[in-house]
Chains A and B, each alone.
Chain A
Amino acid sequence: MPHTKRRRLVTTAVAVSLGATALAACGSEDDSKADSGPVSLTYWTWTPGMDKVVDLWNKGPGKKDGITVTVKKQASGDTLVTKILTAHKAKKAPDLVQAEYQALPTLVSNDALADISGEVGDIEGKFAEGVWQQTMLGTDAVYAVPQDIGPMMFYYREDLFEKYGLKVPTTWEQFAETARRLKEKAPDKDLTTFSANDSGLFAGLAQQAGAKWWTTSGDRWKVGIDDAATRKVAGFWGGLVKEGVIDDQPMYTPSWNKALNTGKQIAWVSAVWAPGTLTTAAPDTKGKWAMAPLPQWSLDQDVTGSWGGSSTAVTTDSAHQEAAAEFAAWLNTDHDALNALAKEGGIYPASTSAQLSGAFSHPPAFFANQPDFYSKAADIAKTTAPSAWGPNVNVAYTSFKDAFGAAAKNKSDFTAALRTMQDDTVADLKKQGFEVSR
C-alpha cells in the first residue's frame, strides 16, 4: 500500500498551490469583491482568554471591515493536529487554526494550510528572522504568522547557588562542573534532571548545538537526528546521568514539582514561559529564582534553542482566506492585541516590538527580584537558532520518549538511543510515502 501513495513534498505542494492561486487570480477578479460583504470566520485556538482578545477585533478593525471572528477553544498538542487533519479531510477545517511550529510541516504536507505570503508578506520585518523562517518551511510561501515563541534560558535558585558557592555556568562544560560541585557539597541535591518525557526540550537543546533534524534537498527529505551536533548533546546529558550528578526523573510530575518546591533540584533548563510553570509547581520559592542565558557550547558563541511557541495559520478550506490572513496579521502585530494576549493568555510574543512594551515592562511576579527579566529575555530571543521541522515530528518525539526513557533508566548509552530515534523517524517517513535521502 504505502508505495502506491506518494505524498507531495512541501516544495511540490507549494508549486501546486502557487499555480492554483495564479489561476484563481486570472479567472476571478470579481470574486474578491464578493468577499467584501460581512465575513464570519471560525478560529481554533487553545490560548486562554483568546475570546477577549478577539472581542477587541470584532469591536474594532473587524467591525470596520465586516469581518467577525468566533473563537472555538481547543486543547493543545498533537491531538489537535489530528483533529484539524480529520476536519480537513471532510473539507470542514475552520478558517484559522493555532499551530505549533513543529506541526506546520505536517499540516502543509497534507495541504491543509494556505499560502498567505501575498497578504502578510509586509509584516515580516516585525519578527526575528529565525522565527519568521519557521513559517516558510524553506520555500517562498508563508504558511502562518508567528504568535508566541519559547526561547530557551537557564533558571537557577539564586539563594542556593550562593549558599553552595556555585557560579552561574556560561558553557556546558561549566554546567557539568557545577553539577559535580553541587553533588560534592550536598549529595542529596541535584542541579537539575534529564527528562526523557520532554522531547521539545531535547529538540531545543539540539537546535542550540546546531542540529538540523529535517532538511530537504530537491524533492527528498533528509533526517539529521543522528548528526554530530545532536550526538554531542545526547552524549553530554547521558554522561551526566551515568555519572549520577544529575537526576534522571521526568519533569512535570508531582515529585518533580516537589523537588523544585523544596529545593532538591536547584536549576532548570527551560524557556521564557518558565515563570508560569514555577508559579504552580514551586509556589514556596517565589522571588528566589533568577534567569540567565543558556550555557553555550563554546565561549565565542551566543545562541539559544526554542522550546514551544506557536503560530496562527489560515486553512485551505477557508472560503475567506484573505480576510483570515488580515486577522492573523492584526492579532500578532497589533500593539493592543499583543498586549491583551500577554495579559489574558500569558504568551510571550513573537513580534519583537511587543517584547519590551506594555505587559513586558515589568518582570513576571514570580521573578520580581529580577527587574530586567524581560529586557534580558528579548536579548536572548534575538539569538534563537533557526529550526528545521519535518512532517513527522510526533513520531520522532514518541521514539525519543521510548528510547531515551529506557536509556535514562538503565543509565545506558544515549547515543544508541539517538540512533533508534533516527531509524524510527526515517522508517516512518518512508512508510508515509515520502522520499528520503540517506
Chain B
Amino acid sequence: MSTLTVRKAAPAAGTTPGTAQGPPLRRRIALVPTATLLLGAVYTLMPVAWVVIASTKSGRELFSTFTFLPGTGFADNLKDLDAYRDGVYWTWMGNSALYAGLGALLSTAVSAFSGYALATYRFRGRETMFNVLLAGVLMPPVILAIPQYLLLAKAGLTDSYLSVLLPQILSPYGVYLARIYASAAVPADVVEAGRMDGAGEWRIFTRIALPMMIPGMVTVFLFQFVAIWNNFLLPYIMLSDDEKFPLTLGLYTLLEQGSNTPALYTLVITGAFLAVLPLIALFLVIQRFWSLDLLSGAVKS
C-alpha cells in the first residue's frame, strides 16, 4: 500500500513533462496520499480533541455524558485547578517552562558548537567521537536516569533545578543533527573565504556559519524543548520537593493519591489541556523559521 502510494505519487509531484498522463489520473492519484494523511491527522488529533472536550466537563459529566459532547464545567475546572493547593499548578507550569526553555536553549548551543566543530574541522578521533555520539542517539535516556541520579547525588545536586537541567543539556541527537545540518548548509568554501579575509574562527562561526545553521538549530531547539517538556522519569527520580516539579510530575501526583483518595480526573485533564497550549504556541511562532529550511543554502552548485 505504501510503496504503491510512493510510486504513483512521485511522478505526479514531478514537473517533467511527458510523465504527466492527463488530469483524471492525476486527481485519482492525489487521493491516496491525501486520504492517508487525513487518516494520520484524525489518528493524532483524536486524543487532543478528547482532552479539549473532556476538560470542559465537570466531574459529574465526565464519565456519564457522551465522550465528544462538550460539558459545562470548564470555568469551574479552571477555578479548581487554580485553587488546588494555592495554585501549585502554576508553579509546575513555570518550572516546566524553565526546564524546557533554558534546557533547550543551552542544549541547542552545545549542539551547534559541537556539530559545527565536527563538520568543519578535521582532527584526530573525530570519527570515533562521532560514532560514540551515534551510539548515544540509540541509547534511550530512560536507562540513564538512575546512573545520572547516583552521579548527581555524589555531587550533592539532587533535588535541585540543576539536577534536571544538567543531564539534558547534552543531547546526542541534537549534536548529530547539527553536524549533518552544518555539513550541508555551511559549505567549506564559505568558511575558507572567511579565513582568507582574515576572520578568526570564532567570528566565522558566529557571523557566517551560525546564521546559515539557524533553521537546523530551530529544529534542534524544538525537539529538545518538547523532549524536556514531556520528560517524566528524570525529574521523577531527581526531585522530591514538589515545588520544583515540572507539569508531568505534578499531574502524576494528582492521579496517584493513594487508594483511599479518588484520582482528581477533572483537574488532571484540565491541567493536561493547559500543558499542551504552550507547545502549540511555540510551534506556531517558530514555524516561520522552519519554512526557511527548504529554501536556504548559501551557494548554488
Contact = CB atoms under 8 A, between A and B. Distances in A.
Given A72-B241, A73-B242, A280-B265, A46 B154 contact: no
B149 A276 contact: no
B259 A308 contact: yes
A280 B262 CA distance: 7
Interface in A295-309: 307-309
B261 A48 contact: yes
A46 B260 contact: no
Interface in B246-301: 249, 252-253, 255-263, 265
A281 B63 contact: yes
Contacts of B36: none
Secondary structure of the A side of the interface?
mixed
Contact of A90 (B154, B252, B257): B154
A300 B149 CA distance: 55
A90 B260 contact: no
Given A90-B149, A90-B154, A76 B257 contact: yes
Contact of A48 (B153, B237, B257): B257
B188 interface: no
A73 B261 CA distance: 14
Nearest to B145: A86
A261 B63 contact: yes
A261 B158 contact: no
B87 to A, nearest CB: 15
Given A86-B149, A258-B64, A281-B63, A46 B265 contact: no
A276 B261 contact: yes
A373 B172 CA distance: 59
A261 B240 CA distance: 37
Contacts of A311: none
B135 interface: no
B254 to A, nearest CB: 8
A87 B149 CA distance: 8
Given A273-B260, A280-B262, A283-B60, A83 B237 contact: yes
A46 B259 contact: no
B255 A75 contact: yes
Contacts of B158: 87, 90, 92
Contact of B63 (A46, A258, A276, A310): A258
Interface of A: 42, 44, 46-48, 72-77, 79, 83, 86-87, 89-92, 94, 148, 150, 200, 254, 257-258, 261-262, 271-273, 276-277, 279-281, 283-284, 307-310, 345-348
Given A277-B262, A283-B59, A346-B261, A94 B256 contact: no
A272 B261 CA distance: 11
Nearest to A310: B258
Contacts of A257: 63-64
B260 A148 contact: yes
B257 A284 contact: no
Contacts of A273: 259-261
A77 B256 contact: yes
A284 B64 contact: yes
Given A73-B253, A89-B150, A90-B149, A44 B259 contact: no
